[in-house]
A and B are shown apart, each in its own frame.
Chain A
Amino acid sequence: MALLEVRDLQTHFFTREGVVRAVDGVSFSVETGKTLGIVGESGCGKSVTALSIMGLIPQPPARIVNGTIVFDGRDLTKLSNRQLEDVRGRQIAMIFQDPMTSLNPTLTIGTQLTETIRRHLGLARDEARRRAVELLEEVHIPNARQRLDDYPHRFSGGMRQRVMIAIALSCNPRLLIADEPTTALDVTVQAGILDLLDELRAEHEMAMILITHDMGVIAEATDDVAVMYAGQIVEHAPVEEVFYRPEHPYTEALLGALPQLEDEGVRERRLTAIPGRPPDLIDPPQACRFAPRCPHAGLGDTCTTEPPELREIRPGHWVRSAHPASERSPQTQEVGAT
């Protein structure tokens, strides 16, 4: 049994304009020691999925209307707020996109670290401080002891993200959710943070969910990948499969939009953009949600009238499309096959 099993999760936002189906039937599981990457463009529901697991969706307007989130044998959707508070930070920790705003500017990072430790592990003040210093050292912050009494504004973005990671790891959680952890950072800093996350995931024997819109991050840091589009998972497979044998037209298009060095002789054309926009999630089409933008969906195709199911096209490789790459006629198949 996997550490986390999300089944048919539906998180909807009840707004004045209508019900926004931000997450609409998402299922996946994460095992200890593995990293699941969730990739997709803005608004595809990846962050709402993460916040649903954490029990941090804004209620109202959002509500989990269906599905289960079973963590270590317990369904998190059935827990009370107080019970969730015991899980958050202790069993499941999360780091966020913007380290510049994710730390409280009026408290020292020592306070922000030790309050978590003391809350969950019940350590005394001194002991919590000692543990905090260890944690800062573990995330490679120099002069950890002195810096404990500094305020966040004296840290750079990368250093703040390291502090966030230290806070997240402070109680040895079993699952770490990283929501776009490198998006707000300098490219030079990004790799360092990803390496650190990977190193710590192994050391702490955690499972990790890494949310990003960056295929490069996915390639570097994940074991399995779930590609999300318009509130649904459209492709779910091991990372090599996704990069070398992508099936869904959307995944192919994402890979086609990825810049590559021309010296490698891989592509000397312009980057291919995906035409059109994602569908309105208030009233999504009763069809494949990617169909309007899909180069393979012809007029009168079944996928424009009924939504395709997520099916296992190869062992461990799931896809939600009527036109997966391996079922197409050869001449239309070159797009993402690098």
Chain B
Amino acid sequence: MNVEVRNEARSRGAAKAISISDVNLYYGQQHVLKDINLEIKPGEFFAFLGPSGCGKTTLLRLIAGFNQARQGKVVIGGDDVLDMPPWKREIGMVFQSYALWPHMTVAHNVAFGLEERRLRKAEVERRVNAALDLVGLKHLAERRPAQLSGGQQQRVALARTIAIEPKVLLLDEPLSNLDAKMRVEVRRELRDLQQRLQLTTIFVTHDQEEANTVCDRIAVFNEGRIQQVGTPMGLYERPANLFVANFLGTANLLEGKIRGEGNARSFEVAGAGSIPIPAGVDVPESAKLVLRPQYATIGLDAADSVSLPGRIVHREFLGATVRYGVQVGGAMVLIDAPFHSGDSLLEPGGSTTVGFKPKSALWLAN
């Protein structure tokens, strides 16, 4: 099978790059996509991440040809595709609902795209078998979609798309119709398959964990705009703005005022205290302090940390960690304290201190 797959990958030729420039899209008066610019490398597994209504699916459908942009360019493997109808684009898309045709068997569903390309019967059969083999569903070829489980339907949809050997693969929330356990399993399979086929892939999701675990790079969307593009770790460590910081992982936000000049700057949080701003850190106007829960300590004082007084409001025991909610000035700060066997827990209601190293904090504007 692996030999077969490698041959498949070779027969596809080199993976294609996607280049999107200055794309704007309107629904009537509503500006849905705003100045989208994006470069996706050949063979990359790329995610569009964002809350619902942020424009990520709209952009995906635009690439597939189901939405018309008023301006801009989408170049795939050197060809501008925006003026092509969907059926000429050679772009494979797996729909959120899978869109398997209920009146056809699994094999007929997979064969459809090949038949539309007027391939010889034997060739169609060979490629249907290869595609079903690839997703491990050869034994279900004669079933109808309604007789398959959600996970199997998803794989049929994938096989149907891969069979036509598309230039790029688009996945529209492919895991959203699966239960939690299947999701973890299927996303690993997706990653595996993508690596083997070396197919440039765009994966749309609203779930940051999915995007982080599967994709090479992520574009974070909000309100029709790309907020930031980067690797999962890069986005987590160096979010460009508050939206990205909040959307990828949990972030504590503290409001305050900047005092002082040059190397003696500090960030003063009303009713809590003052945090020295490390030298060389860029702090925008009206910025907020961003702190990940695991970078803060509770009730400990270290030499290089600042320490703010607070009151424990609630406590959640999560197993590996204990999450405390501490009222600091006007803000609620979440702190993840690692839990070790034999540790005693702090009680809500008591006073404590919140400590963190100033260099683990970020200052971000809205």
A and B found bound together: no
Interface residues of B (CB under 8 A from A): none
Interface residues of A (CB under 8 A from B): none
